[in-house]
Chains A and B, each alone.
Chain A
Amino acid sequence: MDNAFGQPQNVVVLGGSSDIARAITKKLCAARAHTVVLAGRNQELLDVAAAEAQEYGATKTDTVVFDANDASNAKRAVSEGFEKVGDPVDLVVVAIGLLGDQLAMEDDADAVTSMVMVNFAWPVVALAEVRRRLVAQGSGRILVISSVASVRVRRSMYLYSGTKAGLDRLCDGLADSLEGTGVSLQLLRPGVVRSRMTQHQNEKVPFTTGVNEVAENVMRGLASGDRVIWSPPALRYVFAVLRHLPRPLWRKVMDNENR
């Protein structure tokens, strides 16, 4: 069960081998999490993440392998995750995402399909099953990793930014639909995070943080129950301004590298 500080005991992490997910899992295990099921693409990476979870205090871990390029397996992956936990699930983390290289992808239909699948279609289908199971359970939380990039779509990364925006807005409505069910959904909107996913971005972006700082903000957000968790928290105010910038100024500020 969840406790008063939003520290869950039984956790399912979809996309469990990503750097952010691993940092969050570690913090959850150091608090109260004892059963953790990690789902992801690569068994070896999942095993590493599971071993790490045990090191931080989990007593029972398991893994589920799936391919986020095929939304038809999302329901199965979620079901397996829940069944492997066995007890009521307190928290489901949805940490699926693909940053991609827009210039290399935008003219390639397969690559675009992949962006839509991984960043939007797969998580949405998975969330449908997560929602159904948690509502029946009468309790539980969902944490969806979105991005500050979803707040306003940038031209230099409209595929990533736009697909995340779709997920982010959908989750906003989904969260409202959960009122009174005992289930809640929170969105995490991190800024740029130093991780494997971003190692090829060489621009220096303000408000860049490490994964541990993101995980720390997640723990605080789970305790406060705020609908949107910003990381770092200051980005909430930065984007309150940025999202209302006149368009020419927005393009200049965000994408001054030009192309």
Chain B
Amino acid sequence: MFEIAGIREIVKPENLAYRKSDLLTENVMSYCPGCGHGTVHRILAEVIDELGLQSDTIGVSPVGCSVLMYNYIDVDIQQAAHGRAPAVATAIKRLLPEKFVFTYQGDGDLAAIGTAETIHACNRGENILMLFINNGIYGMTGGQMAPTTLVGMKSSTSPAGRIAKTMGSPLKMTDIVATLPGTYYVTRQSVHTPANVRKTKKAIRKAVQYQKLDRGTCFIEIVSNCPSGWKMTPVQSNKWMEETMFPVYPLGDLKTPEE
């Protein structure tokens, strides 16, 4: 590896402005430039670290772009079959009720193949945190239509754009689970601006703390981008997300505990 000249003079503790959480590993993330996954990983790792929960955390990773989450966050992680993370997490939490248990899933995993597991884990009020990254597309397999793909949005399996009549309309899973008595805290956030990152982190922190109360499922949707799948630059994708995704998936709390 080459070294940037003079870098040792700069990298000193007194010059530190920002550093990654200790709970993020040294592994280089496989996410595309501009993708929201890395940011969500970071704030999740920060919350676990700040609350001192590393030894009490068990995560469940999905099938999708974040399948390798276990390479990046330094906590015990089970990698679940496609869509089954809520079932896997159900058993983990039931058998280790003192632990903090979370799932991390994309829209294909959570809202298509895993719809039953999602609804039923929320309906039983499993005392887990479900993180739902919604970018309206299957990223890992190369940009196919997802249940959350917007009407008219092009993908490799909706090349002329999604047609509601034949392909269905965007499935608002977060709205659905918010109606279930089993959910305790349901919110929709994003990580495309520093302000939104802070809000999302606050939401995650709340959800982690709620788990100690044993009141039910906490469900956080993070509307995110997929520059590669959407065939846009990161900047374009964030702008498009704001203009096109947010009207369909408006940010904000859908269900908050009565405190």
Pair from one complex:
no
- Footprint of B on A, CB under 8 Å? none
